[in-house]
Amino acid sequence: MKYAYYPGCALEGMNIEYNVSLRNLFDRLEIEVEEIPGWICCGTLAAPSTSRLLGLSVPLWNVAKALEARHDQIIAPCSACLYHFKSALHELEEEPSLVSEIEEILGVPLDGKPKIMHPIELLSGEEFETIIKEAVVNDLSGLKVVCYYGCLITRPPKVMQFDVAEYPQSMDRILRWAGIQTLDWACKTECCGANFNLLEPEIVIDLSNRIFAEAKAVGAEAIVVACPMCHGNLDTRESEIEAKFNVQYDLPIFYFSQLMGLAVGIPEAGLGFWKHVVDPGKVLSAKWEVEDSTPVTLKELSRER
């Protein structure tokens, strides 16, 4: 089974380490993916805020390209892209008269309704329990983390149709299969401030502070995320949050794919830890001997795959 893969713009730029670690993890677990040929930005919040038709057409262009390449399952690791794909397909289902209008705009047919999945949805399937457990070569059981799902992976539930909307478990499950301790906490789906990082950072600073405080209170040593925007907000603003609230959190932010990648033995250079603003070295080296993490260039990082 080969899945269509839509990395999205964030995973080509600011969040390249998510892309590289995830593709390495897929390789290690023998999950075959193929990037959608000629994909374009999903339009995120900007396109649907400009025009309803534009907000539908842009993600559906990518869906049409995946269908054209004979894929019926698309993996979208960015939760914003994931939401816009699922939301566009949901709207077409609710209002079938839109299909011909969108096809006219795109100039290509929309033959079929592919399943759109976050990688966590794929990996948390029962069939992956044994595969993941058998792939583990590094013992990470000493590391205690909280899983932060953010707003969009499970909500709105009518559109996303995945996991329990307010208290999801799927990321916890796959990390536990990889031997990592995940803790219960109250902020799994709290908002981190989303795209206000660029517009009004104070909103991000205040909202994310609650997430850090709760993670620290339950004894977490790191926060694990599955969304590039959540990673960006928490990782880039942690020091300002600590300064504003006069606290010391010292919590690195990992993608689930980085920690799982470490557990299944992917070399550090193929996981991109050095790209983080908050240095994860202290937490990682306290748990086991880390390799030389000399920074590598972007090209070298991509070649590690």
Partner 1 sequence: MNAARILAARKGIKPKVEEVAIFYDTFIENMMMFGRINDLSLVAAMKLKTDDLFNDLPLGLKLFERGKLQPFKFPSGASEFRRIYERVQEKERGRRSRE
Tell me the CA distances in angstroms from 219 to 100, 181, 186, 215, one per residue in order: 53, 11, 13, 7
Q: Which stretch binds partner 1 (CB under 8 A): 21-29, 155-163, 172-180, 271-279?
A: 271-279
Choose among 113, 6, 112, 102: nearest CA to 51. 102
Q: Say how many C-beta atoms besides its own lie within 10 A of residue 301's C-beta.
A: 21
**Helix, strand, coil tally for the chain in percent (to 5):** 50, 10, 40
- Residue 48 binds partner 1, judged by CB under 8 A: yes
Q: Is 45 in the site for partner 1 (CB under 8 A)?
A: yes
Considering only residues 184 through 213, tell me which ones interact with partner 1, judged by CB under 8 A.
Answer: 195, 198-201
Nearer to partner 1 among residue 104 and residue 289 (C-beta): 104
123 near partner 1, rule: CB under 8 A:
no
For 46, the token pair is 């900007």
Which residue, 53 or 131, has its beta carbon nearer to partner 1? 53
Nearer to partner 1, 110 or 143 (CB): 110
Nearest distance from residue 249's CB to partner 1, in Å? 17
At residue 34, the 3 state secondary structure works out as strand
Is residue 139 within 8 Å of residue 109, measured between CB atoms?
Answer: no
58 binds partner 1 (CB under 8 A): yes
DSSP 103-167: HHHHTS---S--EEE-HHHHHTSTHHHHHHHHH--S--TT-EEEEE-TTTTT-SHHHH--S-SSS
What is the closest distance, in whole angstroms, from the C-beta atom of residue 78 to partner 1 in the complex? 11
Is 171 in contact with 69 (CB distance < 8 Å)? no
Q: What x-and-dash track marks residues 221-260 binding partner 1 by CB under 8 A?
A: ---------------x------------------------
Q: Is 91 in the site for partner 1 (CB under 8 A)?
A: no
Q: Under the rule (CB under 8 A), what is the footprint of partner 1?
A: 9-10, 12-16, 38-41, 43-55, 57-58, 61, 101, 104-107, 195, 198-201, 236, 274-277, 295, 297-298
